[in-house]
Amino acid sequence: MATLTTPAAPAAPSTSQPTVRPTKRRFSFGRATAWTVLVLIILVTLLPFYWILRTALSTNAGLNADPANPLPVDLTTTGFERALGLQSAEEAIAQGGAGGGLDFWRYLLNSVIVATLITGCQIFFSAMAAYAFARLRWRGRDKVFGLFLAGLMVPTIFTLLPNFVLIKQLHLVDSLLGIALPSLFMTPFAVFFLRQFFMNIPHEVEEAALLDGAGKVRIFFRVILPMASTPILTLAVLTYITSWNDYFWPLMVSYSDGSRVLTVALAIFRAQTPATGVDWSGLTAATLIAALPMLVLFACSARRIVSSIGFTGIK
Amino acid sequence: MTIASNSPPIRRRGDGLLAAVFIAPAMLGFLVFLLWPTLRGIYLSFTRFNLLTPAEWVGLDNYVRMVNDPIFWDSLTVTVEYVVLNIGVQTVAALAIAVLLQRLTQSAMLRGVVLTPYLMSNVVAGLVWLWILDTQLGIGNEIISALGVDRIPFLADETWAIPTIALINVWRHVGYTALLLFAGLQAIPNDVYEAAKVDGASEWRMFWRVTMPLLRPVLAVVLIMTVIGSFQVFDTVAVTTAGGPANATNVLQFYIYGSAFGRFQFGYASAMSVALLVVLSAITVLQYRLTRAGQSDLG
């Protein structure tokens, strides 16, 4: 994004310091309406989370008897026990579960492995390439970069079918590596995004390090990466969330417990509807297990990344 | 950025070898998992291929079949209907949220709150709303029936299903879109608003006369990105309606998936993927032209 060097509007009063509150705020009808709308939007955003928690802490029998109760009905943790595979099949069926024996600990671990592998490798390799495009001089650099840029035009979804054929030929179907492999090396977006940041790092910093006798490799690790830590962190968190939440690709590649990630497991849990109706208590508990790690990850990093998200999206 | 002409005279010879090492992993990924599958996808669309026996060249057969396939056209219509609803509502809502967040409060915490649904997967968002909107037990329908209106089978009814899925995905994505627009709003210098205020403009007037024109390039890029994303809808449909009732939510990506993995017609599935690619490219070029996304009115 361009830096802000706009000509000041001629009519603007030259406020020596741009005060956030130019006039004292009185109560006004417009502002009250605007706040009401904002509060409503926040309620619609957050209330579903509460409702899921409330359902997960209820029994299925209670949910059937008292569907509109704003509090958990028959407060219990059996929904979570069922989702985590801690109940016997008979117990589960008695409480309205499918007794299918889904083990969400395992899927949680699989999701962690896949998302960590993808995020770590993809960001590191993309950063290396971005450094080569931004700071190294070599023949054909702009042509190769143009090729990468063209890759930005291909929607991910288009490559899924052919990539599945490839993963099958590599005998990696139904493995965690098979799920991670296509995203492991780069995305055109990550390369493009990091290149922008690396180019904005002042050359003087690099030259000083060069004069001190540091090589380009050392400069990459000791100067460039630390100076771009905030955009790298933002990209890493967003990549982690994206790979954690991916459903379509793991659905194609994974067939058994060993490679099943949370999103796929959730859909299977949903499909195993027992004759008595959907096991809402267990299903919402499983949903929370799948969602909680990302909420925690975001809560820990939000302070640093929330302001830089705009730059991420607008290339 | 211009080529660094002021770089020191040392190391004039370039960094060819080092660059090759630095770029190798990304290049491998690009060639094997992006360029090759793209070319292969186009090739497969001209073949009959069931994954077990080698692909067999059939020329334009798949495309002829596609043009004569009523389910394909139906599926394309459903997808377009979804995209129009999804993008229409989402863009207006995101714009409203972004402007409210910028003009009322600069709170970073609120921006974080607005983003929370985006942290969920589409699968989770789909299941959350499947439960809330359940005809018999969902709280949404409990409220509707308490108001004295008939319960609505949101995801089980042919007319309601697509709008419901479109809105579920608005719920998940609107916060992220709003933050992108918010960043665009932050780039509009405060002086412009000060000047408008001195001239006695109301907030409403400032929105149409200052915010909208100056936000246009950002809005255009966001719109192009979200439309492309919206056309790829699959997850939410897969967990809530599985294409039903009666193909009412059989979006293109779902039909493609069914053709490939349900009926093992990888050739035909690839042909429909190519069609989607062509549609998306055309829409992107058109949007780019119409909205003059590349030009800014700022300075």
Flag whether pLDDT at A7 surpasses 80: no
Whether A253 is in a domain gets the answer: yes
State ipTM.
Answer: 0.88
pLDDT-derived band at A98 (thresholds 50, 70, 90) equals low
Cβ distance A30 to B97 less than 8 Å, yes or no, reads no
Cβ distance A22 to B197 less than 8 Å, yes or no, reads yes
Q: How many beta-carbon contacts under 8 Å exist across A and B? A: 321
Whether A37 is in a domain gets the answer: no
- Min Cα–Cα distance to chain B from A91, Å: 23
Domain count, chain A: 1
pLDDT-derived band at B13 (thresholds 50, 70, 90) equals low
Domain segments of chain B: what residues?
A: 16-45, 70-291
pLDDT given at position A45: 93
Residue B59, phi-psi category: left (phi > 0), alpha (psi -120 to 50), beta (remainder): left
CB-based contacts of A134: which residues, under 8 Å, 6+ apart? A194, A195, A198, A199
Range of the domain at A151: 108-263
- Min Cα–Cα distance to chain A from B132, Å: 8
Whether A71 is in a domain gets the answer: no
* Closest Cα in chain A to B217: A314
Cβ distance A266 to B194 less than 8 Å, yes or no, reads no
pTM for the predicted model, two decimal places: 0.87
- Min Cα–Cα distance to chain B from A89, Å: 23
CB atoms within 10 A of CB B45: 25
Give the domain CATH number at A250: 1.10.3720.10
- Min Cα–Cα distance to chain A from B68, Å: 22
Q: Which of A131-135, A291-295, B15-19 shows the lowest per-residue confidence on average (mean pLDDT)?
A: B15-19
**Residue among B285, B157, B145 nearest B227 (CA):** B285
pLDDT given at position A168: 94
Greatest alpha-carbon pair distance for chain B in Å reads 81
B48 - beta bridge partners?
B56
Give the whole-angstrom CA distance, residue B168 versus residue B125. 7
Cβ distance A309 to B180 less than 8 Å, yes or no, reads yes
Whether A5 is in a domain gets the answer: no
- Which of B10, B23, B89 to mutate to test binding with chain A, by most A CBs within 10 Å of its CB? B23
Q: Specify the CATH number of the domain B70-291.
A: 1.10.3720.10
pLDDT given at position A303: 79
* Closest Cα in chain B to A240: B119
